[in-house]
Amino acid sequence: MADRSELLKQPVELTFYRPNNGTTNEQFMDLMGSAIQTKFPNVTVKFIPWVTGSKFEDVLSSGQDLDIVLLSIGYVPQFSKFGLGYDLNDLIKQNNFDLSHLENTSVDFIKKFGSGAIYALPIFTTAEVLAYNKDIFDKFGVPYPKDGMTWDELYDLSKKLTRADGGVQYYVFMASMSHMLRVNQLSLPFVDPASGKPNIDTEEFRNLANNFSRFYSVNGVMPPKEKYNKEGDMFTKDRNLAMYAYFNSVAITAPSDMNLDMVTLPSFKEFAGVGSQMYPTYAGISSTSKHKEMAFEVLKYLTTDEMQTKFAKDGAGLPVVKNAKLIEAYGQDLPQLKGKNKQAGYPLKPAAITTKSLYDDLVEKQALNAFKDVIQGNADIITASRKASEQAVKDLEAAKSK
Protein backbone atom coordinates (compact mmCIF):
# COMPACT_ATOMS: atom_id res chain seq x y z
CA MET A 1 0.00 0.00 0.00
CA ALA A 2 1.30 3.43 -0.96
CA ASP A 3 2.13 6.00 1.70
CA ARG A 4 -1.11 7.92 2.29
CA SER A 5 0.51 11.36 2.18
CA GLU A 6 2.10 10.55 -1.16
CA LEU A 7 -1.12 9.00 -2.43
CA LEU A 8 -3.03 12.21 -1.76
CA LYS A 9 -0.54 14.22 -3.82
CA GLN A 10 -0.69 12.16 -6.99
CA PRO A 11 -3.06 13.63 -9.60
CA VAL A 12 -5.70 11.09 -10.50
CA GLU A 13 -9.02 10.95 -12.35
CA LEU A 14 -11.67 8.77 -10.70
CA THR A 15 -14.64 7.70 -12.79
CA PHE A 16 -17.96 7.17 -11.02
CA TYR A 17 -20.94 5.29 -12.39
CA ARG A 18 -24.46 4.92 -11.02
CA PRO A 19 -26.45 2.35 -13.02
CA ASN A 20 -30.22 2.11 -13.01
CA ASN A 21 -30.63 5.65 -11.72
CA GLY A 22 -31.38 8.87 -13.57
CA THR A 23 -28.74 10.92 -11.74
CA THR A 24 -27.38 13.72 -13.91
CA ASN A 25 -23.82 15.00 -13.73
CA GLU A 26 -25.02 18.14 -11.95
CA GLN A 27 -26.94 16.09 -9.39
CA PHE A 28 -23.95 13.86 -8.80
CA MET A 29 -21.65 16.81 -8.22
CA ASP A 30 -24.16 18.24 -5.74
CA LEU A 31 -24.52 14.88 -4.05
CA MET A 32 -20.83 14.09 -3.56
CA GLY A 33 -18.62 15.01 -6.52
CA SER A 34 -17.83 18.58 -5.49
CA ALA A 35 -17.23 17.56 -1.87
CA ILE A 36 -14.81 14.82 -2.99
CA GLN A 37 -12.81 17.25 -5.12
CA THR A 38 -12.65 19.73 -2.25
CA LYS A 39 -11.51 17.05 0.18
CA PHE A 40 -9.02 15.55 -2.27
CA PRO A 41 -7.56 18.33 -4.48
CA ASN A 42 -5.53 15.73 -6.36
CA VAL A 43 -8.69 13.99 -7.59
CA THR A 44 -10.56 14.93 -10.73
CA VAL A 45 -14.06 13.51 -10.66
CA LYS A 46 -15.69 12.10 -13.78
CA PHE A 47 -19.27 10.82 -13.74
CA ILE A 48 -21.02 8.62 -16.29
CA PRO A 49 -24.73 9.51 -16.17
CA TRP A 50 -27.41 6.88 -16.69
CA VAL A 51 -28.82 7.68 -20.12
CA THR A 52 -29.60 5.76 -23.28
CA GLY A 53 -26.51 3.79 -24.20
CA SER A 54 -25.04 3.73 -20.71
CA LYS A 55 -26.17 0.38 -19.37
CA PHE A 56 -23.55 -1.80 -17.72
CA GLU A 57 -23.00 -3.67 -20.98
CA ASP A 58 -22.61 -0.44 -22.95
CA VAL A 59 -20.13 1.10 -20.52
CA LEU A 60 -18.01 -2.04 -20.39
CA SER A 61 -17.99 -2.55 -24.15
CA SER A 62 -16.99 1.08 -24.68
CA GLY A 63 -13.78 0.50 -22.75
CA GLN A 64 -14.41 3.37 -20.33
CA ASP A 65 -12.49 3.24 -17.07
CA LEU A 66 -14.56 2.59 -13.98
CA ASP A 67 -13.31 3.25 -10.48
CA ILE A 68 -16.29 3.60 -8.14
CA VAL A 69 -19.76 2.23 -8.83
CA LEU A 70 -22.75 3.43 -6.79
CA LEU A 71 -25.25 0.62 -6.42
CA SER A 72 -28.79 0.41 -5.16
CA ILE A 73 -28.90 -2.84 -3.20
CA GLY A 74 -31.03 -4.54 -5.83
CA TYR A 75 -28.28 -3.96 -8.39
CA VAL A 76 -25.48 -5.56 -6.37
CA PRO A 77 -25.84 -8.93 -8.18
CA GLN A 78 -25.35 -7.19 -11.54
CA PHE A 79 -22.08 -5.73 -10.25
CA SER A 80 -20.77 -9.24 -9.67
CA LYS A 81 -22.34 -10.66 -12.82
CA PHE A 82 -20.11 -8.44 -14.96
CA GLY A 83 -17.01 -9.33 -12.99
CA LEU A 84 -16.68 -5.85 -11.53
CA GLY A 85 -16.74 -6.85 -7.87
CA TYR A 86 -13.50 -6.21 -6.00
CA ASP A 87 -13.02 -7.59 -2.48
CA LEU A 88 -12.29 -4.69 -0.13
CA ASN A 89 -11.13 -6.85 2.78
CA ASP A 90 -7.42 -6.15 2.29
CA LEU A 91 -7.97 -2.41 1.98
CA ILE A 92 -10.24 -2.48 5.04
CA LYS A 93 -7.48 -4.16 7.07
CA GLN A 94 -4.70 -1.96 5.74
CA ASN A 95 -6.66 1.17 6.61
CA ASN A 96 -7.91 -0.14 9.97
CA PHE A 97 -11.40 0.73 8.76
CA ASP A 98 -14.00 -0.04 11.43
CA LEU A 99 -17.04 -1.75 9.90
CA SER A 100 -18.77 -1.89 13.28
CA HIS A 101 -19.67 1.81 13.11
CA LEU A 102 -21.89 1.12 10.08
CA GLU A 103 -25.52 -0.03 10.22
CA ASN A 104 -25.51 -3.75 11.03
CA THR A 105 -27.97 -5.21 8.51
CA SER A 106 -26.37 -3.37 5.58
CA VAL A 107 -22.94 -4.75 6.49
CA ASP A 108 -24.32 -8.23 7.20
CA PHE A 109 -25.95 -8.33 3.78
CA ILE A 110 -22.84 -7.41 1.81
CA LYS A 111 -20.71 -9.90 3.77
CA LYS A 112 -23.22 -12.68 3.18
CA PHE A 113 -23.59 -11.79 -0.48
CA GLY A 114 -19.86 -12.12 -1.02
CA SER A 115 -19.52 -15.22 1.17
CA GLY A 116 -17.03 -13.26 3.26
CA ALA A 117 -15.78 -11.01 0.49
CA ILE A 118 -16.87 -7.39 0.86
CA TYR A 119 -17.59 -5.88 -2.52
CA ALA A 120 -18.94 -2.51 -1.39
CA LEU A 121 -19.64 -0.26 1.58
CA PRO A 122 -23.05 1.27 2.36
CA ILE A 123 -23.07 5.05 2.03
CA PHE A 124 -26.70 5.94 2.76
CA THR A 125 -29.97 4.09 3.12
CA THR A 126 -33.74 4.33 3.26
CA ALA A 127 -36.62 2.42 4.84
CA GLU A 128 -40.40 2.24 4.70
CA VAL A 129 -42.69 4.53 6.68
CA LEU A 130 -46.43 4.93 6.99
CA ALA A 131 -47.35 8.36 5.63
CA TYR A 132 -50.81 9.73 6.33
CA ASN A 133 -52.98 12.60 5.17
CA LYS A 134 -53.89 14.55 8.30
CA ASP A 135 -56.74 16.33 6.52
CA ILE A 136 -58.66 13.09 5.99
CA PHE A 137 -58.27 12.08 9.63
CA ASP A 138 -59.33 15.56 10.75
CA LYS A 139 -62.31 15.52 8.39
CA PHE A 140 -63.74 12.40 9.98
CA GLY A 141 -62.54 13.03 13.54
CA VAL A 142 -60.40 9.89 13.62
CA PRO A 143 -57.17 9.80 15.71
CA TYR A 144 -53.92 9.80 13.74
CA PRO A 145 -51.92 6.57 13.53
CA LYS A 146 -49.09 6.25 16.05
CA ASP A 147 -45.53 4.97 16.13
CA GLY A 148 -45.27 1.34 17.16
CA MET A 149 -48.63 0.09 15.91
CA THR A 150 -49.23 -3.44 14.66
CA TRP A 151 -50.89 -4.17 11.34
CA ASP A 152 -53.94 -5.49 13.18
CA GLU A 153 -54.25 -2.23 15.10
CA LEU A 154 -53.98 -0.30 11.87
CA TYR A 155 -56.69 -2.47 10.34
CA ASP A 156 -59.03 -1.69 13.23
CA LEU A 157 -58.31 2.01 12.73
CA SER A 158 -58.97 1.66 9.01
CA LYS A 159 -62.55 0.57 9.55
CA LYS A 160 -63.32 4.08 10.80
CA LEU A 161 -62.02 5.77 7.66
CA THR A 162 -63.55 3.89 4.74
CA ARG A 163 -66.48 6.01 3.74
CA ALA A 164 -67.90 8.26 1.03
CA ASP A 165 -68.39 11.95 1.66
CA GLY A 166 -69.44 14.76 -0.66
CA GLY A 167 -69.38 12.41 -3.63
CA VAL A 168 -65.79 11.31 -2.88
CA GLN A 169 -64.94 7.74 -1.88
CA TYR A 170 -62.12 7.68 0.64
CA TYR A 171 -59.81 4.70 1.00
CA VAL A 172 -57.76 3.82 4.05
CA PHE A 173 -54.41 2.24 3.32
CA MET A 174 -52.38 1.11 0.35
CA ALA A 175 -48.72 0.54 -0.38
CA SER A 176 -46.27 0.46 -3.21
CA MET A 177 -46.35 -3.31 -3.15
CA SER A 178 -43.25 -3.79 -5.29
CA HIS A 179 -41.19 -1.90 -2.72
CA MET A 180 -43.03 -3.43 0.21
CA LEU A 181 -42.15 -6.91 -1.02
CA ARG A 182 -38.51 -5.98 -1.61
CA VAL A 183 -38.09 -4.79 1.97
CA ASN A 184 -40.70 -7.02 3.59
CA GLN A 185 -40.62 -7.40 7.35
CA LEU A 186 -40.54 -11.20 7.22
CA SER A 187 -37.19 -11.13 5.35
CA LEU A 188 -38.62 -13.37 2.65
CA PRO A 189 -36.39 -13.36 -0.46
CA PHE A 190 -37.88 -13.57 -3.93
CA VAL A 191 -35.67 -16.54 -4.79
CA ASP A 192 -34.88 -19.16 -2.18
CA PRO A 193 -31.06 -19.25 -1.96
CA ALA A 194 -30.96 -22.97 -1.16
CA SER A 195 -33.33 -24.33 -3.80
CA GLY A 196 -33.15 -21.55 -6.37
CA LYS A 197 -36.96 -21.64 -6.60
CA PRO A 198 -39.35 -18.69 -6.32
CA ASN A 199 -40.78 -17.91 -2.89
CA ILE A 200 -44.37 -17.35 -4.01
CA ASP A 201 -46.23 -20.60 -3.43
CA THR A 202 -45.27 -20.49 0.23
CA GLU A 203 -47.00 -19.85 3.54
CA GLU A 204 -44.75 -16.83 4.19
CA PHE A 205 -45.72 -15.13 0.95
CA ARG A 206 -49.40 -15.86 1.49
CA ASN A 207 -49.17 -14.32 4.95
CA LEU A 208 -47.69 -11.15 3.46
CA ALA A 209 -50.28 -10.98 0.70
CA ASN A 210 -53.18 -11.62 3.09
CA ASN A 211 -51.97 -8.95 5.49
CA PHE A 212 -51.96 -6.23 2.84
CA SER A 213 -54.85 -7.39 0.66
CA ARG A 214 -57.36 -7.02 3.52
CA PHE A 215 -56.79 -3.25 3.48
CA TYR A 216 -57.95 -3.09 -0.13
CA SER A 217 -61.48 -4.20 0.77
CA VAL A 218 -62.17 -2.66 4.20
CA ASN A 219 -65.93 -2.60 4.87
CA GLY A 220 -66.41 -4.17 1.44
CA VAL A 221 -65.11 -1.10 -0.43
CA MET A 222 -62.58 -1.92 -3.16
CA PRO A 223 -60.57 0.65 -5.13
CA PRO A 224 -61.09 0.90 -8.90
CA LYS A 225 -59.02 -1.67 -10.78
CA GLU A 226 -57.40 1.02 -12.89
CA LYS A 227 -55.89 2.51 -9.74
CA TYR A 228 -53.76 -0.55 -9.05
CA ASN A 229 -50.08 0.41 -9.09
CA LYS A 230 -51.11 4.08 -8.90
CA GLU A 231 -51.53 4.17 -5.15
CA GLY A 232 -48.98 6.96 -4.82
CA ASP A 233 -51.09 9.16 -7.09
CA MET A 234 -54.17 8.41 -5.02
CA PHE A 235 -52.29 9.64 -1.95
CA THR A 236 -50.59 12.77 -3.32
CA LYS A 237 -52.77 13.79 -6.29
CA ASP A 238 -56.31 12.48 -5.82
CA ARG A 239 -55.89 12.78 -2.05
CA ASN A 240 -58.60 10.26 -1.33
CA LEU A 241 -56.20 7.79 0.28
CA ALA A 242 -55.66 8.27 4.00
CA MET A 243 -52.44 6.26 4.45
CA TYR A 244 -49.66 5.13 2.16
CA ALA A 245 -46.63 2.96 2.88
CA TYR A 246 -43.51 3.88 0.97
CA PHE A 247 -39.89 4.91 1.54
CA ASN A 248 -39.36 7.89 3.83
CA SER A 249 -38.74 10.04 0.74
CA VAL A 250 -42.52 10.22 0.31
CA ALA A 251 -42.58 13.29 2.56
CA ILE A 252 -39.94 14.99 0.40
CA THR A 253 -41.57 14.36 -2.96
CA ALA A 254 -45.18 15.07 -1.91
CA PRO A 255 -46.70 18.43 -2.91
CA SER A 256 -45.71 21.24 -0.55
CA ASP A 257 -49.33 22.04 0.28
CA MET A 258 -50.13 18.51 1.44
CA ASN A 259 -50.84 18.20 5.15
CA LEU A 260 -49.08 14.92 5.86
CA ASP A 261 -46.92 13.30 8.47
CA MET A 262 -45.31 9.91 9.07
CA VAL A 263 -45.18 7.18 11.69
CA THR A 264 -43.17 3.99 11.86
CA LEU A 265 -44.28 1.18 9.60
CA PRO A 266 -46.67 -1.07 11.58
CA SER A 267 -45.24 -4.44 12.54
CA PHE A 268 -46.58 -7.97 12.61
CA LYS A 269 -47.72 -8.94 16.09
CA GLU A 270 -45.47 -12.02 15.94
CA PHE A 271 -42.49 -9.72 15.29
CA ALA A 272 -43.38 -6.71 17.41
CA GLY A 273 -41.38 -3.60 16.58
CA VAL A 274 -39.61 -5.06 13.54
CA GLY A 275 -39.63 -2.51 10.73
CA SER A 276 -38.90 -2.88 7.07
CA GLN A 277 -35.55 -3.94 5.76
CA MET A 278 -33.11 -1.18 5.04
CA TYR A 279 -32.64 -0.45 1.35
CA PRO A 280 -29.09 0.92 1.21
CA THR A 281 -27.06 2.39 -1.59
CA TYR A 282 -23.52 0.99 -1.73
CA ALA A 283 -20.26 2.20 -3.21
CA GLY A 284 -17.90 -0.42 -4.60
CA ILE A 285 -14.53 -0.26 -6.28
CA SER A 286 -14.46 -1.75 -9.76
CA SER A 287 -12.11 -4.68 -10.28
CA THR A 288 -10.86 -2.84 -13.36
CA SER A 289 -9.87 0.31 -11.46
CA LYS A 290 -6.24 1.35 -11.71
CA HIS A 291 -6.58 3.55 -8.62
CA LYS A 292 -8.00 1.23 -5.97
CA GLU A 293 -6.15 2.76 -3.01
CA MET A 294 -7.26 6.28 -3.84
CA ALA A 295 -10.76 5.03 -4.52
CA PHE A 296 -10.85 3.50 -1.05
CA GLU A 297 -9.85 6.85 0.44
CA VAL A 298 -12.99 8.22 -1.18
CA LEU A 299 -15.13 5.36 0.15
CA LYS A 300 -13.84 6.06 3.64
CA TYR A 301 -14.68 9.73 3.23
CA LEU A 302 -18.24 8.93 2.17
CA THR A 303 -18.80 7.17 5.51
CA THR A 304 -17.38 9.98 7.66
CA ASP A 305 -19.65 12.05 9.88
CA GLU A 306 -18.99 14.99 7.57
CA MET A 307 -20.44 13.33 4.47
CA GLN A 308 -23.07 11.39 6.37
CA THR A 309 -24.33 14.69 7.78
CA LYS A 310 -24.43 16.17 4.28
CA PHE A 311 -26.37 13.22 2.86
CA ALA A 312 -28.80 13.40 5.77
CA LYS A 313 -29.39 17.16 5.67
CA ASP A 314 -29.85 17.11 1.91
CA GLY A 315 -32.38 14.28 2.20
CA ALA A 316 -30.27 12.05 -0.06
CA GLY A 317 -30.73 9.22 2.39
CA LEU A 318 -30.62 8.11 5.97
CA PRO A 319 -27.13 7.85 7.46
CA VAL A 320 -25.49 4.44 7.63
CA VAL A 321 -23.35 5.25 10.65
CA LYS A 322 -24.45 4.55 14.19
CA ASN A 323 -24.86 8.10 15.38
CA ALA A 324 -28.22 9.31 16.69
CA LYS A 325 -27.30 12.94 16.07
CA LEU A 326 -26.83 12.23 12.38
CA ILE A 327 -30.21 10.56 12.18
CA GLU A 328 -31.72 13.69 13.71
CA ALA A 329 -30.02 15.73 10.99
CA TYR A 330 -32.05 14.03 8.28
CA GLY A 331 -33.85 16.61 6.15
CA GLN A 332 -32.73 19.60 8.20
CA ASP A 333 -32.19 21.63 5.05
CA LEU A 334 -35.56 20.67 3.55
CA PRO A 335 -38.49 22.94 4.44
CA GLN A 336 -41.01 20.24 3.53
CA LEU A 337 -39.77 18.10 6.44
CA LYS A 338 -39.98 20.84 9.05
CA GLY A 339 -42.10 19.66 11.97
CA LYS A 340 -42.47 16.17 10.53
CA ASN A 341 -41.86 12.94 12.43
CA LYS A 342 -38.61 12.25 10.57
CA GLN A 343 -37.45 9.67 13.11
CA ALA A 344 -40.19 7.35 11.86
CA GLY A 345 -38.08 6.63 8.80
CA TYR A 346 -35.30 4.91 10.73
CA PRO A 347 -36.56 1.58 12.15
CA LEU A 348 -35.15 0.76 15.56
CA LYS A 349 -35.26 -2.93 14.64
CA PRO A 350 -34.93 -3.26 10.87
CA ALA A 351 -35.67 -6.68 9.44
CA ALA A 352 -32.69 -8.65 8.19
CA ILE A 353 -31.98 -7.85 4.54
CA THR A 354 -32.89 -10.71 2.24
CA THR A 355 -30.54 -12.38 -0.18
CA LYS A 356 -30.60 -10.94 -3.70
CA SER A 357 -30.32 -12.74 -7.02
CA LEU A 358 -30.04 -11.86 -10.68
CA TYR A 359 -33.60 -13.06 -11.15
CA ASP A 360 -35.44 -11.14 -8.44
CA ASP A 361 -37.23 -8.92 -10.99
CA LEU A 362 -38.74 -11.95 -12.72
CA VAL A 363 -40.11 -13.39 -9.48
CA GLU A 364 -41.24 -9.99 -8.20
CA LYS A 365 -43.34 -9.52 -11.33
CA GLN A 366 -45.22 -12.75 -10.73
CA ALA A 367 -45.58 -12.09 -6.99
CA LEU A 368 -47.23 -8.77 -7.84
CA ASN A 369 -49.52 -10.52 -10.33
CA ALA A 370 -50.63 -12.85 -7.54
CA PHE A 371 -51.33 -9.95 -5.23
CA LYS A 372 -53.25 -8.13 -7.97
CA ASP A 373 -55.43 -11.19 -8.64
CA VAL A 374 -56.31 -11.38 -4.94
CA ILE A 375 -57.19 -7.72 -4.34
CA GLN A 376 -59.20 -7.52 -7.55
CA GLY A 377 -61.18 -10.62 -6.64
CA ASN A 378 -59.90 -12.73 -9.54
CA ALA A 379 -58.58 -15.58 -7.37
CA ASP A 380 -58.06 -16.67 -3.78
CA ILE A 381 -54.54 -16.42 -2.42
CA ILE A 382 -53.78 -20.15 -2.69
CA THR A 383 -54.80 -20.29 -6.34
CA ALA A 384 -53.11 -16.99 -7.18
CA SER A 385 -49.81 -17.83 -5.49
CA ARG A 386 -49.67 -21.27 -7.11
CA LYS A 387 -50.36 -19.86 -10.59
CA ALA A 388 -47.78 -17.10 -10.14
CA SER A 389 -45.18 -19.53 -8.83
CA GLU A 390 -45.61 -21.85 -11.80
CA GLN A 391 -45.07 -18.94 -14.20
CA ALA A 392 -42.08 -17.70 -12.20
CA VAL A 393 -40.47 -21.15 -12.45
CA LYS A 394 -40.85 -21.02 -16.23
CA ASP A 395 -39.45 -17.50 -16.36
CA LEU A 396 -36.45 -18.50 -14.25
CA GLU A 397 -35.72 -21.54 -16.41
CA ALA A 398 -35.89 -19.43 -19.57
CA ALA A 399 -33.60 -16.77 -18.14
CA LYS A 400 -31.03 -19.27 -16.89
CA SER A 401 -30.95 -21.06 -20.24
CA LYS A 402 -29.85 -17.91 -22.08
Please indicate, yes or no, if residue 354 is contained in any of the structural domains: no
Strands 68-72 and 121-124, by their bridges, are unpaired
Asked if 142 and 120 sit in the same domain, the reply is no
Residues 22 and 104 in one domain: yes
Q: Give me the chain's average pLDDT, please.
A: 93
Sign of the Cα torsion 159, 160, 166, 172 reads: negative
Question: Does residue 391 share a domain with residue 242?
Answer: yes
**84 and 100 within one domain:** yes
Q: Is residue 179 located within the same domain as residue 189? A: yes
Domain annotation covers residue 350 = no
Query: 386 and 273: one domain?
Result: yes
Euclidean distance between CA atoms 298 and 307, whole angstroms: 11
Q: Are residues 133 and 246 in the same domain?
A: yes
The pTM for the full model equals 0.93
What is the spatial distance between Cα 265 and Cα 185, in angstroms, rounded to a whole number? 10
Number of domains present in the structure of the chain: 2
* 177 occurs within a structural domain: yes
Q: Classify residue 353 by its DSSP letter.
A: P
Domain that holds residue 183: 128-277+359-401
Averaged pLDDT, 142-160: 95
Given a cut of 90, whether residue 7 has pLDDT beyond it is no
Find residue 63's DSSP bridge partners.
none
- Both 26 and 107 in one domain: the answer is yes
Task: Evaluate if residue 48 carries a pLDDT over 60.
Answer: yes
Last residue of a domain, one of 297, 314, 345: 345
In a domain, 149, yes or no: yes
Identify whether residues 291 and 160 lie together within a single domain.
Answer: no
Are 253 and 338 contained in the same domain? no
Q: 85 and 172 share a domain?
A: no
pLDDT in tens, 76-118: 998 888 888 999 999 999 999 999 999 999 999 999 999 999 9
User: CATH number for the domain including 191?
Assistant: 3.40.190.10
Whether 389 is covered by a domain: the verdict is yes
What is the pLDDT averaged over residues 221-225? 86
